[in-house]
Amino acid sequence: MHTDSALAVDMRGMLSPQASARTVTAAEVMALAPKLGELVPRLEHWRRAEPYSFFTLPFATDAAAIRQRGRDLARRFRQTIVFGIGGSSLGGEMLACILGDAAHPVQFYDNVDPTTLARLEHVDWNDTLLLVISKSGNTAETLSQLLTVLPAIERNTDAAGLRERILVITENRDGALGRIARDLGLEILPHPPVGGRYSVLSIVGLLPAAIAGVDIEAVLNGARRMAERCLVSDPDQNPAFRHGAIQYLHALHGRTQSVQMIYADRLRKLVDWFRQLWAESLGKHDASGEARGLTPVSAVGVTDQHSQMQLYLDGPDDKQFTLIIDPDLRAQGARMDARFAHLPEVAPLAGHTTGELFHAEFEATRTTLERQRRPVRRLSLAARDPAAIGEYIMLMELETIVVAHLFGIDPFDQPAVEEGKILAREYLAK
């Protein structure tokens, strides 16, 4: 278990001391060292922005400027609404929901369900900031969100007020969003040249987080610390290499469903962000035409122990598990009344706190999975620790790159998604 950081990872449940038909051993991981070593020069180039990439962000993002802008906006407006979809929304929402405070609420609209968007009819745009994010500038859903509320905002303010209340983040200034912004005189903030699902450590994720009161410098410090640990070629010393290789080897054994089970309600948004990263980066064909990928599955402890655990333990052995817990919860919670300790069902609970029960449920799940020879790892991070969240973000991004490299696929494109976007526009045209 690595404990020299804010994020502690225990991989022992993913490895077997002896090789057999469906086990993964440390020797098999080390056998991949030459292949993994090919990534080190690429990471070093990316760190220097050659070319600019997600790995550049922890070292190049101007956190102080973003923090100051976020504070200024939080002082000027009572609330913020973010329009975006996928990577334009999930990263900022994850940071704001986990680490933000209630002093300045930030709401994220990441869909075009009309019943949800109907809530916007009751927004007081006089004291609301609207942040519109689209990397391409042509995202149909984001454009539709903006165009549905624009008349209401214009009815409540003049051109100068409009410029104060709407900010745009896009990479493509010549896209539709950029052209609309220029026509309205809106400020355009530059989206970095990285894919949306890798953009959380840029202004895309950090500005909403800063508005919500998140310590974004600490998030970046954690991400930087993890990035530096992952610049060595030895899988024993490089957590991304080791973890990614182990998951890849389990996938070769048919365990192509990756379950992330969260034991901390506050951390639920971690899995929403991870799900897009994992699915959109890894679900594609390799050079030989074979379909690759690991399906991300979200689960909540202890709730899903009563709905999914039967499948996990007694169903097909096609899953690998990551259990994520906030260790601070063990010392929290009210103590249970012991008056009914004479009841056999109550006796084990009497006198314990809900935090102690929560932690016991977590340990029981981990142990049961291991006994059933299901590959399981444990991630431990304090939900209120921004450095730990930063480490988690960077580790998941790098694990994604490692698995993609071993599969021989490009983790940065999403060719299959484009067809659906084209068809949606064609259906509207009809």
In a 10 Å sphere around its CB, with 0-12 CB exposed, 13-18 middle and 19+ buried, how is residue 33 labelled? Answer: middle
Q: Is 421 a catalytic residue?
A: yes
Distance in angstroms (rounded) separating the CA atoms of residues 314 and 319: 12
Residue 35 appears among annotated catalytic residues: no
| Residue 306 annotated to the active site | yes
- Side chain identity, residue 294: L
> What is the SS3 string spanning the chain?
CECCCCCEEECHHHCCCCCCCCCCCHHHHHHCHHHHHCHHHHHHHHHCCCCCCCCCHHHHCCHHHHHHHHHHHHHHCCEEEEECCCHHHHHHHHHHHHHCCCCCCEEEECCCCHHHHHHHHHCCHHHEEEEEECCCCCCHHHHHHHHHHHHHHHHCCCHHHHHHHEEEEECCCCCHHHHHHHHHCCEEEECCCCCHHHCCCCHHHHHHHHHCCCCHHHHHHHHHHHHHHCCCCCCCCCHHHHHHHHHHHHHHCCCCEEEEEEECHHHHHHHHHHHHHHHHHHCEECCCCCEECCEEEEEECCHHHHCCHHHHHHCCCCEEEEEEECHHHHHCCCECCCCCCCCCCCCCCCCCEHHHHHHHHHHHHHHHHHHCCCCEEEEECCCCCHHHHHHHHHHHHHHHHHHHHHHCCCCCCCHHHHHHHHHHHHHHHC
Catalytic residue, from 121, 122, 306, 345: name it.
306
Contacts of 156 (CB under 8 A, 6+ apart): 125, 126
Task: Pick the catalytic residue from 93, 141, 171, 280.
Answer: 280
Active site residues: 280, 306, 421
